[in-house]
Amino acid sequence: MALRFSSGDVSGFKFLLILAVTYGLIAMLVDSIIHMRFIKPLEIDAPLDHFSEARAVEHVRVLAQEIDGRQEGRPGLREAAQYITAQLEMIKERAGSNFRIEIEETVVNGTFNMMFLGHSISLGYRNHTNIVMRISSEDSQDSDPSVLVNGHFDSPLGSPGAGDCGSCVASMLEIARLIVDSGWIPPRPVLLLFNGAEELFMLGSHGFMKTHKWRDTIGAFINVEASGTGGPDLVCQSGPGSWPSQVYAQSAIYPMAHSAAQDVFPIIPGDTDFRIFSQDYGDIPGLDIIFLLGGYFYHTSYDTMERLLPGSMQARGENLFSIIKAFTKSSKLQITHERESNISTANQYEEGHAVFFDYLTLFMIYYTRKVAMLLHSIPIAIFLAAPVFSKKQTPGLLSWFSTFCDFAKGLIFHATGIFLAIVFPIIFSILRLLFTSHAMHWFAHPYLAYLMFVPCSLVGMLIPRIIWNSFPLSQDASGLKSLKEALSDEARFWGAFGLYAMLTLAYLFAGLSGGFLTFSLSASMLPGWVSYCLSIKSFGRQSLRSTLFYMLPILPCLAYSVYFGGFLIQFMVEKMGMMGALPPPYGFFVPDVVMAAIIGVVTGWCVGPLIPICGRWLARSSILQVLLHLSVLGLALSSQFFPYSADAPKRVVFQHSFLTAGFNSPM
């Protein structure tokens, strides 16, 4: 039987192919960025005034391979401390007379209470080792404000800890060498804290903040961590105040940061030393910078030197050195007493978190909370004013109201499409699990998740566009088809724009910092709309060229959407292995449902801005059938793959509970 397509179907498939190629090229670019393929690691014989990943990796080799375990109670932890101290002493011997270098190995003891995952816990510890190196100029004073860089050299039980956090310690050792060998004399002291007990609820950093003589001199800090073995060295937390993120935005060589991470981090079941320095015991301005990819191996025996992602430590080292320089030169660097008494600093803290994000690691966009209050309110103002400037109606309140009603209709339809883009993948994931014995087939093969869930998500997004004509417009089109099409395009565009404007405003009033995500969508749609309106004068509304002219100005925003969304999906795929078994009967469904929902959200975000205008080519039954067939093919194909592999191992946790009671207590 021969398939017959109308000319509209052919044009629709052409446009679908254009979209597939466009997003495919963007995805290839994004994959190279998040896997650090654009960074060339320097070799071990690189010039001494450059950070060298190869030299840092040699430290990782000793810590993760030659030393047998760096856990509390094992001899390896003491061997690691001795190795670090020996390396620091060698650096000190090479330093010139214009440096003042001090190295201290301290043993900390203490007790404290903390909230963790909603529970209050009490901790007591003794005999944990910290190593501190202070690098300053020969004429520096002990009371000078300093910059602290913190990383822990202990590792989780059963893990060699190459990524977490041998890579952190190795980077800090190379930074210490670089400071000395490059001849850069810090204008303010630099403290390098090699923390011996982070995995046991951040005991080492607590001991430092409660007992060390230099704790009150710290004016800013950088905490380096690893939740994997490489990838973007993301700024996940910053503060208090906006100053640390501003310094990062101005100085990072390969900026990898976005303030939306600060909205998400508090709900993640984990913590870093950042909370000790900036929240619980220090109130010190700082940055929390973390390797986030390679989560398959996080806290497992697979966290080995071979798993380190090339280029990651090179980017981290170059960023760290530049940020340290910026912090030490800043006039805002103050000791604890000055910070507490300085009114301007207190006002700065009250400003809250700034809004910042990198664009494909090329540059940073940064603006304060006050600027965000103004900037993020502009889209909703434009949306409310747009009906007044519509040229399709005569002036008047009634005309404005009917136009606004059509815009509201477009908003509801677009919101429904985004909602269905999330619901359809969830439904498909549940249906697949009803006919298979394994969940998480995408765990070892992330591309399967895209094949399974992206096509059906697009179907959900296009359904409201198909039924659009069943609901009449409030404006009078006077029976002219061309005018009706123009009004429909206008209503769909401004409806989508209004949805993103409302979400941006909601972010703003919720006190969150991720509103730039939807603000960037609405901001990029405006030049796209202008380009489209100009192009239809030359090519007509039914021309594919006009649609492409709408797409072109939005492409930079779409590239960022794919960059952010692709990183989020990869991170979540890897972290799903840590979720563990959930109670039956519904626990079997949870990982797939979560992943389907996330891909639905990302698809809606990456494609949503195109739907108001481009949907005319895609909202066809023939294209929807193809997309549904692709989803079914993805579901069937995924069932042929085992969820786990050597590169994506299954995480198994054994726990023992011991109950002890008094002699006369019932057992």
pLDDT tens for 18-30 read: 999 999 999 999 9
What pLDDT score does 666 carry? 45
Range from 122-126, 199-203, 306-310, 344-348 carrying the lowest mean pLDDT: 344-348
User: In the predicted model, what is the mean pLDDT of the chain?
Assistant: 90
DSSP 269-299: S---THHIIIIIS----EEEEEEEE-GGGTT
Q: Which three-class secondary structure string do you get for 547-566?
A: HHHHHHHHHHHHHHHHHHHH
Segment 398-413 mean pLDDT: 88
Looking at the predicted structure, is the pLDDT value of residue 652 above 60?
yes
Give the list of residues 6+ apart from residue 71 with CB closer than 8 angstroms, or none: 77, 154, 155, 156, 157, 199
Question: Alpha carbon of 489 to those of 15, 56, 408, 413, 616: distances in Å?
Answer: 18, 57, 13, 13, 9
- What is the β-pairing status of strands 230-239 and 190-195? unpaired
Question: Alpha carbon of 308 to those of 293, 331, 343: distances in Å?
Answer: 10, 37, 45
- How confident is the model over 258-313, as pLDDT tens digits? 999 888 887 777 789 999 999 989 889 999 999 999 999 999 999 999 999 999 99
Range from 98-102, 337-341, 628-632 carrying the lowest mean pLDDT: 337-341
Q: Which of 513, 503, 556 shows the shortest CA–CA distance to 245?
A: 513
- How confident is the model over 474-533, as pLDDT tens digits? 776 665 566 788 888 999 999 999 999 999 999 988 888 889 999 999 999 999 999 999
Instruction: Work out the percent of the chain whose per-residue pLDDT is above 70.
Output: 93
Instruction: Report how far residue 231's alpha carbon sits from residue 17's, in angstroms, rounded to the nearest whole number.
Output: 31
Segment 639-647 mean pLDDT: 88
Question: What residue type is assigned to position 15 of the chain?
Answer: F
The model's confidence at residue 586, banded by pLDDT at 50, 70 and 90, is confident
| Relative orientation angle of helices 167-182 and 75-94, to the nearest 10 degrees | 10
By residue count, the chain amounts to: 667
- What is the β-pairing status of strands 355-359 and 363-367? antiparallel
The model's confidence at residue 203, banded by pLDDT at 50, 70 and 90, is very high
- How confident is the model over 477-491, as pLDDT tens digits? 665 566 788 888 999
Token pair, residue 482, equals 């061309």
Find out whether 292 and 571 touch, Cβ atoms under 8 Å: yes
Q: In a 3-state reduction of DSSP, which class is residue 186?
A: coil
Q: In a 3-state reduction of DSSP, which class is residue 477?
A: coil
Tell me yes or no: is domain 53-341+351-360 CATH 3.40.50.80: no
Range from 33-37, 331-335, 637-641 carrying the lowest mean pLDDT: 637-641
Instruction: Report how far residue 99's alpha carbon sits from residue 118's, in angstroms, rounded to the nearest whole number.
Output: 46
- How confident is the model over 429-455, as pLDDT tens digits? 999 898 887 888 899 999 999 999 999
Token pair, residue 37, equals 């393929």
What pLDDT score does 485 carry? 84
- How confident is the model over 142-161, as pLDDT tens digits? 899 999 999 999 999 889 99
Find out whether 230 and 293 touch, Cβ atoms under 8 Å: yes
Looking at the predicted structure, is the pLDDT value of residue 336 above 50?
yes
What pLDDT score does 663 carry? 46
Domain ranges of the chain: 7-34+370-639, 53-341+351-360
Element (H, E) at 326: helix 312-329
Q: In a 3-state reduction of DSSP, which class is residue 225?
A: strand
Find out whether 131 and 103 touch, Cβ atoms under 8 Å: yes
Looking at the predicted structure, is the pLDDT value of residue 351 above 80?
no
What pLDDT score does 4 carry? 65
First to last CA, the chain: 76
What pLDDT score does 438 carry? 81
- How confident is the model over 448-460, as pLDDT tens digits? 999 999 999 999 9
What pLDDT score does 397 carry? 72
Is the link from the previous residue into 266 a cis peptide, with omega within 30 of 0?
no
- Does the pTM exceed 0.75? yes
Instruction: Report how far residue 216's alpha carbon sits from residue 47's, in angstroms, rounded to the nearest whole number.
Output: 36
Looking at the predicted structure, is the pLDDT value of residue 1 above 50?
no
Segment 60-73 mean pLDDT: 93
Provide Rg for the chain, Cα atoms.
28
Instruction: Work out the percent of the chain whose per-residue pLDDT is above 90.
Output: 72
Q: How many CB atoms lie under 10 A from the CB of residue 579? A: 14
Find out whether 56 and 317 touch, Cβ atoms under 8 Å: yes
Looking at the predicted structure, is the pLDDT value of residue 667 above 50?
no
What pLDDT score does 246 carry? 95
Looking at the predicted structure, is the pLDDT value of residue 470 above 70?
yes
What pLDDT score does 656 carry? 54
